Amino acid sequence: MSGFVEKPEPMQIPGLVHLHTGKVRDLYQNEAGDLVMVASDRISAYDWVLPTEIPDKGRVLTQLSLWWFDQLADLAPNHVLSTELPAGAPASWRGRTLVCKSLRMLPVECVARGYLTGSGLVEYNETRTVCGLALPEGLSDGSELPAPIFTPATKAAVGEHDENVSYEEVARQVGPDLAAQLRQATLAVYHRARDIARDRGIILADTKFEFGLEEETLVLADEVLTPDSSRFWPADTWSPGRSQPSFDKQFVRDWLPSPDSSWDRHSEQPPPPLPQQVVDATRAKYVEAYERLTGVSWS
């Protein structure tokens, strides 16, 4: 069992229809048929959406995505129409709301990896492959790959794991032409983002994108290159062969299974609230990622 410790009630806004509550975002539709995405401060770990929120997290994710969309505009069109608040929306939505095109979303998590870690490392240790792609011997946790690779996954419901799949499976699901477009777009965006991050002293280890179709055009959607969708590592401490420090929710992942939390992650009991020091440290990491990447002070 997993999912939300307590699923929030959707806010009722005149002129908006609530469509979905995800791990982080609430999705609405306006009267014009556009989607309204609101990024909350919710945080998830070990397939649970936790009872404690991280202040400013939703705003950081939204503003960082907007910054990246600008950096990538010549490589891939995106779904953003407006950042204006819908009429009647609460002030708390400011800075965390995007009005977006309604796309035909593709059922693939488009993952690019430049370094070996996470589920890719687990598969590599078993088979010397990731998503069916053969990799050389001698790699370890945090190793840079010979070249970035496209390692897609299926989209999972809240409380379930995404499942890595082969490129051939993606081609079977969406067709060979569209699969080739997804791979090309994913790797092109990763290369651009990796170089931008590297110039700012950050390693982009891996990241995932979602794409949709506007008629026949491939459009970048959801969030992009945030600490929730990417692994960012400080370049000056990178050292293969161990787990790397990261600009994300690592403090949460470390505290929950520790003796301090008294929580058994393998039980069916929901996780406990986070202590203030973990909340503060996690918020600081999200803000640091934003500031180092954009060069703009968070306020």
Q: Would 35 be classed as within a structural domain?
A: no
In a domain? residue 23: no
Identify whether 3 is part of a domain: no
Classify residue 143: in a domain, yes or no.
yes
Domain housing 167:
104-237
Nearest to 187 by CA among 25, 75, 83: 75
Per-residue pLDDT, averaged over 95-124, amounts to 96
* pLDDT score recorded for residue 45: 92
* DSSP type of residue 281: H
pLDDT tens digits, 38-73: 999 999 998 899 999 999 999 999 999 999 999 999
CB within 8 Å of 68: residues ≥ 6 apart: 193, 224, 225, 226
Q: Give the pLDDT band (50/70/90) at residue 233.
A: very high
* 204 burial via Cβ count (<10 Å: 0-12, 13-18, 19+): buried
Pairing type for strands 153-154 and 217-221 reads: unpaired
CATH number for the domain that contains residue 126: 3.30.470.20
Confidence (pTM): 0.94
Q: What confidence category does residue 154 fall into, taking pLDDT thresholds of 50, 70 and 90?
A: confident
Q: Does any domain span residue 204?
A: yes
**Torsion-angle region of 221 (φ positive above 0: left; ψ -120 to 50: alpha; else: beta):** beta
> Is 262 part of a structural domain of the chain?
no
Q: What percent of the chain has a predicted confidence (pLDDT) above 70?
A: 98
Residue 157: the pLDDT is 62
d(CA 217, CA 212): 8
pLDDT band at 5 (very low <50, low <70, confident <90, very high): confident
Per-residue pLDDT averaged across 166-170, rounded?
A: 94
Give domain status of residue 230, yes or no. Answer: yes
Mean pLDDT (whole number) for 107-120: 95
CB hemisphere CA count around 52 (13 angstroms)? 17
Residue 51 in domain: no
Question: How far is 208 from 116, CA to CA, in rounded Å?
Answer: 14
**What is the DSSP secondary-structure string of 16-45?**
-EEEEE-SSEEEEE-TTS-EEEEE-S--EE
Taking the CB of residue 276, how many other CB atoms lie within 10 A of it?
9
Q: Six-digit token pair at 169?
A: 């499976």
pLDDT band at 6 (very low <50, low <70, confident <90, very high): confident
Using CA atoms, how far apart are residues 28 and 39, in angstroms rounded to an integer? Answer: 12
The pLDDT of residue 234 is above 80: yes
Q: How far apart are CA 39 and CA 267, in angstroms?
A: 29
**Whole-number CA gyration radius for the chain:** 19
pLDDT given at position 32:
96
pLDDT (0 to 100) of residue 155: 75
Number of domains in the chain: 1
Neighbours of 72 (CB within 10 A): 21
Average pLDDT of the residues in 199-222: 97
The least confident of 53-67, 100-114, 148-162, 284-298 is 148-162
pLDDT of residue 158: 57
CA separation, residue 201 to residues 19, 83, 223 (Å): 39, 29, 22
Q: Express as a percent the part of the chain with pLDDT over 90.
A: 89
